[in-house]
A and B are shown apart, each in its own frame.
Chain A
Amino acid sequence: MDSAIIEAEDLVKVFGGKVPVRALDGLDLTVERGGVYALLGPNGAGKTTLIRVLATLLEPDRGRVHVAGIDVRRHPAEVRARIGLAGQYAAVDDHLTGRENVEMVGRLYGLPRRQARRRAIEVLERIGLTQVADRQVRTYSGGMRRRLDLAASLVGRPQVLFLDEPTAGLDPASRRELWALVGDLVEGGTTVLLTTQYLEEADQLADRIAVIHNGQDRGPGATWLGHPGGGAAPAARRRRHPRGRGLAQADPGRRVPRPDRTARHHAQRQRPQHP
């Protein structure tokens, strides 16, 4: 039984224009259910393009993609009912209050008005924005906007949560706040796939890290690199995120490699591990 919640095979996406850009170049990806996964890579590596394909915003030119068991290209609407997305810019309406923003998302998920209101209260409390919920978002700080964006992405109780550069542009304190929040989210079985260019962020948040570069995959199999003792993440927090079956167990002595242009690590397909 395949428990992979995301499966992508041979993804290709080329952006046209004077100089065509191969944002995704035959990329394979497998993500198991549960836990936090980080795609680490420099700007232009294809991380955002990949997230957009997985979140049904972009159609790939070639390749198979399944999220939560559903073919993304054939049934995008059903995928959307099961995912949440917090993009690079906090996509919240300035002129609405925090509560109105979240309620609106609830309504667009198909919730009747009363349920949308109740769900908004729940989610705002979880994210810690109850105090400011009735202020217009244009009065919020950058960190609060990001948290609201995260709250909006949780309204539909997604099976998979996509976070694209969740803390880009935030000050260190807001960044740490958001990290703590993301850590809590994984309880309840949500799988989180985030992209980042910061090794520290991947280190802090993720159980599994894969490096993506040039949208390419040149190797036969993917390795999600495990999370050995490196990083400041306390061992207690990591214990709350049980590792899925069949994941590569990294040798505790081996460090997570940094994105290294000369070495050319690529996000590749998971090879089944024998216990």
Chain B
Amino acid sequence: MTATATTPTIHGWLARSVSDIAVITRRNLLFTVRLPQVLVLSSVMPVIFILMFTYVFGGAIQNALPPAAAGRYVNWLLPGLLAQFALFGGATTASGLAEDLAKGAIDRFRSLPMAGAAVLAGRTLSDLVRLALTLTLMLAVGYGIGFRPQTGLPGLLGAAAVGLLFGYAWSWVMALLGLLVRTAEAVQAATYLVVFPLAFTSSVFVPTQTMPAWLQPFATNQPVTVATNALRGLVLGPGALPPGRTVASQVVLALLWAVAITAVFVPLAVRAYRRTVR
């Protein structure tokens, strides 16, 4: 018995690709379950953030809240944190790839007759699953401390969908980062250098109207703000948005950003992957 030779049919190729992607996705998800540090990052950190921001900053920011938040900071905060953890989730994408490169796992995969796309596709897909689990956990904890979506279930599901799409697009950016930076420690640093400024100059924690005038043009229009506004609008209604913006426009814009980021960064990541030869 020799190993399966390449099947000439499109159907065969597709079936093999799907199988390979599934194998890699499962492998990556097992990292999350079996390695304590990844589990902590995905679960404990989001919970700490929700609790810390609600109880430490909630009182002070109360006065800046729009009425759509129904007087609760957690209502205003949670959609923002969903966006932020979609960003942070990418840290594992980057470091996972960098580690795979360093340890020779990528070499092993490259020497196998498997679909080349499966490594990156499996990595981003496993991170999407992880993000979905993180979001579920955050919603559960948020609900426990008073989060109530003002627009009911459809709004909540819409927000989850937008959040996941945005997170998926972002994971390709982080995949590229991991492939370019390559060493695990440098990747951590690079991730925070990229994620923190984006998160803090967005509407995740505070309304962008409260930021200094020189920062506002960037802050109001950057993709994290748009995504956060879309999530908030979907969950709390139009009153939660800065004046002059509608929920529909922010949602469409957020989706456009997701598509654009994916369209730009998937080819870049694939090219970087092909070039990772030592």
User: Which residues of A are in contact with B by a Cβ distance under 8 Å?
Assistant: 52, 55-58, 77-78, 80-85, 87-91, 93, 95-96, 100, 104-105, 107-111, 136, 152, 156-157
CB-nearest residue of chain B to A48: B278
B127 in contact (CB, < 8 A): no
- Report the Cα distance A90→B237, complex, angstroms: 54
CB-nearest residue of chain A to B23: A107
From A52, A85, A110, A111, residue with most partner B Cβ within 10 Å: A110
**10 smallest A-B Cβ distances: which pairs?**
A110-B4, A91-B104, A156-B3, A91-B108, A85-B111, A81-B113, A108-B114, A80-B113, A95-B34, A109-B3
Contact at B112–A109, with CB atoms within 8 Å?
A: yes
* Cβ–Cβ < 8 Å partners of A77 in chain B: 6, 113
- Report the Cα distance A90→B105, complex, angstroms: 9
* Cβ–Cβ < 8 Å partners of A57 in chain B: 107, 110-111, 277
- Report the Cα distance A119→B73, complex, angstroms: 57
Other CB < 8 Å A-B pairs besides A85-B108, A110-B4, 15 of them?
A52-B277, A56-B110, A78-B6, A81-B2, A82-B3, A85-B111, A88-B104, A90-B104, A107-B23, A108-B20, A109-B4, A109-B112, A109-B114, A111-B3, A156-B3
Nearest CB of chain B from residue A17's CB, rounded to whole Å: 12
User: Which residues of B are in contact with A by a Cβ distance under 8 Å?
Assistant: 1-6, 16, 19-20, 23, 27, 30-31, 34-35, 103-105, 107-114, 277
* Cβ–Cβ < 8 Å partners of B109 in chain A: 108
Contact at A55–B27, with CB atoms within 8 Å?
A: no
Q: List 22 A-B contacts (CB under 8 A).
A: A55-B111, A56-B111, A58-B277, A80-B112, A83-B111, A85-B111, A89-B103, A89-B104, A91-B104, A91-B105, A91-B108, A93-B105, A95-B30, A96-B30, A107-B19, A107-B20, A108-B23, A108-B113, A109-B113, A111-B4, A156-B2, A157-B3
* Cβ–Cβ < 8 Å partners of A96 in chain B: 27, 30
